């Protein structure tokens, strides 16, 4: 298991997937990504043909897309931790979602080699409360751009427990030419998260 401590918790009659310090799926995280999806809008999401999720964990965003947005087309998930997918299948029925397919793979490597294109790329990669450095590197950002269809979106969940994470957001946005991309940041969702929203134009 990549994350040292993962637990499934019953809270107010609802199952959550947590680490020692943060929620991974079906708690506050689900509402964070849902706000980003609502910002894109149900009509836009329903016109999409394919969605890629980097960082699946318990699969709460998959459930949100299917249950709250009635998305029935192709959803591809990339998750490094096979054990967390086993938990997601056992406790949250992730493997019962017919239009979702998950690959156990490193997201950084996947975006280098994938030849498909997507209408929405959701980036939600954490190790507990830390975001891996590669998420902010130019090579990864360039590879993500190449996976986007025209008028496609990137939805990037970030956490700002530390001051330098705010400057990372600014540095990340600097990679997107305003003539080619529209950018927006939804700030302070559930206190510590910012959602970066990018649209190719």
Q: What is the pLDDT of residues 106-116, one digit of tens each?
A: 999 999 999 99
Q: Return the number of other C-beta atoms located less than 10 Å from residue 183's C-beta.
A: 15
Of 97, 101, 171, 95, nearest in space to 136 by CA: 171
Q: Is the pLDDT of residue 31 over 70?
A: yes
Share of the chain above pLDDT 90, in %: 66
Examine the pLDDT at 37 and tell me if it is beyond 60. yes
Question: pLDDT value at position 189?
Answer: 85
Q: Which of 1, 29, 28, 4 is nearest to 85 (CA)?
A: 1
Bridge partners, 154 (sequence order): 121, 198
Identify the burial level of 48 via C-beta atoms within 10 angstroms of its C-beta, where 0-12 means exposed, 13-18 middle and 19 or more buried. buried
Pairing mode of beta strands 14-18, 23-25: antiparallel
The separation between CA 78 and the C-alpha centre of its own chain, rounded to angstroms, equals 10
DSSP β-bridge partners for residue 155: 122, 197
* pLDDT tens-digit series, residues 42-64: 999 999 999 999 999 889 899 99
Averaged pLDDT of the chain: 86
Scanning 75-137, the segments in alpha helix (DSSP H) are 82-92, 107-113
Higher pLDDT, 41 or 1: 41
Closest-CA residue to 7 (of 83, 100, 79): 83
Bridging pattern class, strands 50-54 and 118-123: parallel
At 163, the pLDDT band (50, 70, 90 cuts) reads low
Alpha helices in 41-127 (DSSP H): 42-47, 60-63, 82-92, 107-113
* Residue 165: predicted pLDDT: 58
Give residue 128's pLDDT: 66
Number of H helices, E strands in the chain: 7, 10
Instruction: For domain 7-200, give its CATH number from 3.90.180.10, 3.40.50.150, 3.50.50.60, 3.40.109.10.
Output: 3.40.50.150
Looking at residue 6, its pLDDT comes to 52
- Look at residue 90 and give its three-state secondary structure: helix
What percentage of the chain has pLDDT greater than the value 70? 81
């Amino acid at each position: 298991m990549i994350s040292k401590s993962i637990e499934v918790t019953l809270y107010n009659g609802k199952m959550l997937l947590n680490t020692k310090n943060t929620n991974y799926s079906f708690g506050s995280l689900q509402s964070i990504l849902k706000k980003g999806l609502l910002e894109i809008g149900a009509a836009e999401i329903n016109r999409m043909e394919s969605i890629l999720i980097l960082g699946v964990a318990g699969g709460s965003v998959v459930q949100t897309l299917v249950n709250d947005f009635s998305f029935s087309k192709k959803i591809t998930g990339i998750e490094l931790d096979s054990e967390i997918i086993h938990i997601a299948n056992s406790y949250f029925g992730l493997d019962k979602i017919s239009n979702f397919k998950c690959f156990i793979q490193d997201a950084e490597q996947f975006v280098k080699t994938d030849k498909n294109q997507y209408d929405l790329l959701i980036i939600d990669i954490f190790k507990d409360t830390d975001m891996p450095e590669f998420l902010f590197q130019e090579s990864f950002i360039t590879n993500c751009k190449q996976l986007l269809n025209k008028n496609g979106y990137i939805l990037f969940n970030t956490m700002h427990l530390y001051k330098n994470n705010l400057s990372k957001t600014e540095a990340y946005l600097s990679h997107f030419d305003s003539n080619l991309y529209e950018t927006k940041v939804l700030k302070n969702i559930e206190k510590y998260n910012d959602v970066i929203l990018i649209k190719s134009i």
